[in-house]
Structure 1
Amino acid sequence: MRIRTLVLLIVVACSMAFIIFNWQAITAPGSVSLGVTTVNAPLGAILLALLVLLSVLFFGFVANLQTTLLIESRRHAKELAAQRSLADTAEASRFTELRNYLETALGQIGERDAAQQAILLDYLAKQEATVLRVVQESGNGVAAHLGELEDRLERAGYQGNPEGRH
């Protein structure tokens, strides 16, 4: 229980005890002026009735205020839920859009890589063919030079003995 409620209950209980203990004085008739006339009535009972009437009006006002606030709170909660749902939908849409963009971008990168790889492989094949041709030509040139040297050596009388012995 809240402390305010507890204090209110204690004040009400003390007031009730005071009224019960002083009931004779509250109901004692007295002269009451109404502005235009004077009547003989119990002043305490009239004041007590006004107090009860004001208390009922006050509690009615508080109940109305709490009901209004509760209705407003529920309306805000519904609007908040709708906005949260809208935000979640927008976020999901952005994630889907991002995924589609990334898939497209990665597909384009893959296509570019494949094209560059094909160009590189073609270039390497051409270079390999060029290197093989150059090696073959160099081999043919070396073989031609060796053949020419052998012919010269044979004409000069050299028999292929490296130490110079016959």
Structure 2
Amino acid sequence: MRARTIFLIVCIVLVAAFAALNVDEFTRSSVLSLGFTTIQVPLGMVMLLLLVIATVVFLASTLYMQSANLIETRKYARELNAQRELADKAEASRFTELRNYLEAQSTATLQREAANATVLAERLAQTQAALVQRLEQSDNATAAYMGQLEDRLDRNIGLANPR
């Protein structure tokens, strides 16, 4: 229990004990003026009745405020849960969009890499063919130079050794 509730219960018990101990004084009649008339009633009982009415009104208003507060708190909790669910769905949607975007980027990157690999392979094949052609030309040129040198040697040897 809260401290206020305990304090209220203790006060009610103390007033009830006080009234029980002084019941003779509370029930003694007195003349009371209501402004336009006078009546003869026990003053202690009137004061006790006013205290009970004030306590009941206080408890009723407290109960009403607490129940209204509880209802409002539950309403806010439901709204908060609804907003949290919306946020979770939006976040999940963003994650899905991000995953789709990353997958698209990954696919595009793989396609670019495959295209680059194809272009590289073609260029490598062209370079290899050009190199083979150049080597064949170099071999032919070397063979032609060698043939010319052999012819010169044969001519020079033929001139030096006339038979």
TM over 0.5: yes
Which residue number corresponds to residue 27 of structure 1? Answer: 27
Which residue number corresponds to residue 142 of structure 1? Answer: 142
Q: Which runs of 5+ in 2 are unaligned?
A: 159-163
Aligned residues: 158
**How far is 1:52 from its partner?**
0.3
**How far is 1:96 from its partner?**
1.3
Deviation readout 1:43-65 (Å, 9 max, x if unpaired): 01001001101111111111111
Q: TM-score, normalised by structure 2?
A: 0.88
What percent identity do the matched residue pairs reach? 44
Which stretch of structure 1 is more off in the superposition, 85-94 or 9-18?
A: 9-18
Q: SS of the residue aligned with 1:39?
A: strand
Deviation readout 1:11-69 (Å, 9 max, x if unpaired): 22222221111111111111111111111110010010011011111111111111111
Deviation readout 1:118-141 (Å, 9 max, x if unpaired): 111111111111111111111221
Q: SS of the residue aligned with 1:31?
A: strand
Amino acid of the residue matched to residue 126 of structure 1?
Answer: Q
Could you tell me how far apart the structure 2 residues matched to 1:66 and 1:3 are? 16
Which residue number corresponds to residue 6 of structure 1? Answer: 6
Which residue number corresponds to residue 70 of structure 1? Answer: 70
**How far is 1:117 from its partner?**
1.6
CA RMSD of aligned residues (A): 1.7
**How far is 1:155 from its partner?**
3.4
Q: SS of the residue aligned with 1:71?
A: helix
In the alignment, does 2:83 pair up with 1:86? no
**How far is 1:116 from its partner?**
1.7
Could you tell me how far apart the structure 1 residues matched to 2:3 and 2:60 are? 21
Could you tell me how far apart the structure 1 residues matched to 2:59 and 2:2 are? 17
Q: TM-score, normalised by structure 1?
A: 0.87
Could you tell me how far apart the structure 1 residues matched to 2:129 and 2:106 are? 34
